[in-house]
Structure 1
């Protein structure tokens, strides 16, 4: 399942631009990460909120896809807990509930250094199955 997920991620040009990597893709869960580069930081020196939000959005969609198949985000919200200061961002999402066409997923985004990991954002989203056209 992980290899298929990596193939899907490799087809997302924005994900490639940011340098996102799919670390875990199993039934009901997903994990994405990326290096916090200087060009992804805002003027105060920490990762831009849009980068943190992207990780949450894409990670909950991968988690939803793990149970629904081909899907898209219908809606999501992000609560920023603290500035994303560190070397890497890691997003971990799980499916809270899934029906046949929709799942509700949560995601927590962490900033990592060599010695610690701190929660920087929490997200909740609705993922909808889409039919191949």
Structure 2
């Protein structure tokens, strides 16, 4: 089994641009180093729910994406096999950033954790946390 190369910041940015959903959301990869990744996204009216908060589905998507990118920095290609999200308060802000880190990387699974922050003129507030388990995907799994 061959292993995928570890992703760099430039590679994550390139992969991010190939995802139509990420482009629609305005997700950008702002930082990456081995075992860590950070993404950000501006709030758009289209991403809100009925009360004007960031939709919980997007909260989960930001956590899942940031964790996947953090895992890719140590394991190459990965796919989420499980993730959980804890919404701590309404996600209200002008911009959101998700900061993910690898907790443990194994040969077949990578465990990660993430914090999601809302940003506005008053600063940043923690609005959600999450964890993922990602499966390492070998090059031969592209079927």
| Structure 2 counterpart of 1:86 | 93
Q: Structure 2 regions of 5+ residues with no counterpart?
A: 1-7
| Structure 2 counterpart of 1:72 | 79
Displacement of 1:16 in angstroms is: 0.9
Larger radius of gyration: 2
Q: Distance in 1 between matches of 2:94 and 2:122?
A: 11
Structure 1 residue 113 corresponds to structure 2 residue 120: yes
Displacement of 1:102 in angstroms is: 1.2
Cα deviation 1:85-125 (Å, max 9, x = unaligned): 11001000000111122110000001001331111110011
Displacement of 1:52 in angstroms is: 0.9
| Structure 1 counterpart of 2:41 | 34
Q: Distance in 2 between matches of 1:18 and 1:75?
A: 22
Displacement of 1:72 in angstroms is: 0.8
| Structure 2 counterpart of 1:22 | 29
Q: Secondary structure at the match of 1:84?
A: coil
Runs of 4+ in structure 1 displaced over 4 angstroms? Answer: none
Displacement of 1:51 in angstroms is: 1.0
Q: After TM superposition, list the pairs within 5 Å mapping 1:7-18 onto structure 2.
A: 7-18=14-25
Structure 1 residue 2 corresponds to structure 2 residue 9: yes
Question: How big is the alpha-carbon RMSD for the aligned residues of Structure 1 and Structure 2?
Answer: 0.8
Cα deviation 1:67-87 (Å, max 9, x = unaligned): 100111110100000001110
Q: Secondary structure at the match of 2:71?
A: helix
Q: Structure 1 regions of 5+ residues with no counterpart?
A: none
